[in-house]
Chain A
Amino acid sequence: MTDVRYRDLDDVIHGRLRLALMAFLSTAREAEFQELRDLLDVTAGNLSVQLRTLEEAGHVVVTKQHRGRKSLTTIAITPTGDAALARHRAQLQRLLGLDPNVR
């Protein structure tokens, strides 16, 4: 094998929904729970699980606010999340650059 260190791929980010969340937040910087749920067409429970995983890893910050009867949950990417996604991109880049014809 070459210098591609596939073991360095971030397991937390590598999950499909989590990677989609990080990709969106990397550019949007911050989003509402409902916005992410609509974007990815997932259930609230599923999204909560994925966000909790990202939050525990320090990749995102989840803020909950209450305004009367309404609650507003916002999710923001952290510098740690930015760095982790950048590392993940770099790993993928190296990976794709190795042999584009691998089957």
Chain B
Amino acid sequence: MGRGAVPTDVEPSGAVAHPQSSPGHGPATARQYALQPPGDPPRDVDTAGTCPKVYVINQFTKPIMPTTAAGSAAAELALLDAIAARGARAAAHNGRQLVWWGTAAALLLAVQYVAEVRDSAPSRQLWWWQPPFLLGAALSLRAVYRFPDRRPRASQITRIYIAGFATAFLTLAAYLVASGIATGLPAPLATVLVLTAVLGCALAVVGVATGLRPLTVAGGGWVALLVWFATRGRVVPSDFLVLAAAMLLLVAGPGLALARRRSIASLLGTTMSPT
């Protein structure tokens, strides 16, 4: 790898007095990383012959003046990890929202199952919690982005996320209200099929459009559940528990996967503690 073959970064203005980012000088920040002076390629290492490994490591380590190349490579990767972690947090709020609503829906479905089997409330009234719940979930999609440190609402991921899930929640709520008003009680099998189809489509579409793969996988899970219910052709009370489990696994689960995304450091298996 000759010097001429390596693209050279345009460094940020004012990069001369960059902050110390060596181990033991406070937490690493993305800004420190960006402000490091040019090291691409290093000027004092011959890349043509004897020790290309030193060259490559120095690509990452030279500016922070480590005691050992490997230790400084870990420090450099820690800086990258800080950046990746920041990126994970940017997307993680989507995950947290799914965790909240998926868990809440699972709990309410479990309560409804208990009420059904114990006959502690009329069946014709038990479903009424669902439309307000869905409406609340749809409204919260917009409201949650008003908090600071959230991804801007104008962002493409945010818009796709809000549009996809708000459409799904409102469609389900509208179906339940229309069906409930028309017949007094939404038909169980039709409701389950609509629920699984709408959630499956929403998760799959949002997942594919945003590249958030856990959502795509969860969408496939809901579609599989749809096929299972359609094939069986009936709904029994214990299906409330099946749906509650699905809410945990296929709504809260992918949310948790997004919120707990692994960083570059963990992918590399590198110790991120400064050495």
Query: Which A residues have a C-beta under 8 Å from some C-beta of B?
Result: 1, 4, 6-7, 9, 11-12, 14-20, 23-32, 35, 39-43, 45-46, 49-50, 53, 63, 67, 72, 74, 76-77, 79, 89, 92-93, 95-96, 98-103
Contact = CB atoms under 8 A, between A and B. Distances in A.
Q: Closest 7 interchain pairs by CB?
A: A28-B87, A27-B87, A100-B70, A27-B88, A40-B34, A24-B87, A28-B90
B211 A27 contact: no
B55 A11 contact: no
Given A17-B34, A76-B211, A46 B11 contact: yes
A23 B80 contact: yes
B14 to A, nearest CB: 9
Contacts of B267: 89
Contact of A6 (B5, B35, B55): B55
A77 B264 CA distance: 15
A7 to B, nearest CB: 6
Contacts of A14: 6-7, 40, 59
B123 interface: no
A88 to B, nearest CB: 10
Interface of B: 1, 5-13, 30-31, 33-36, 39-40, 52-57, 59-60, 68-71, 73-74, 77, 80-81, 83-88, 90-91, 152, 154-157, 210-212, 261, 263-264, 267-270
A42 B230 CA distance: 55
A20 B80 CA distance: 6
A16 B39 contact: yes
B264 A26 contact: yes
B30 A39 contact: yes
Given A40-B30, A42-B34, A72 B87 contact: no
Contact of A27 (B1, B261, B269): B261
A5 to B, nearest CB: 10
Nearest to B94: A29
A92 B60 CA distance: 10
B5 A11 contact: yes
A98 B53 contact: yes
A26 B275 CA distance: 26
A72 B263 contact: no
A16 B34 contact: yes
A56 to B, nearest CB: 11
Contacts of B81: 23
Contacts of B13: 43, 46
A74 B156 contact: yes
A6 B268 contact: no
A67 B156 CA distance: 13
A73 to B, nearest CB: 10
Given A16-B34, A19-B80, A23-B84, A31 B90 contact: yes
B12 A43 contact: yes
A51 B256 CA distance: 30
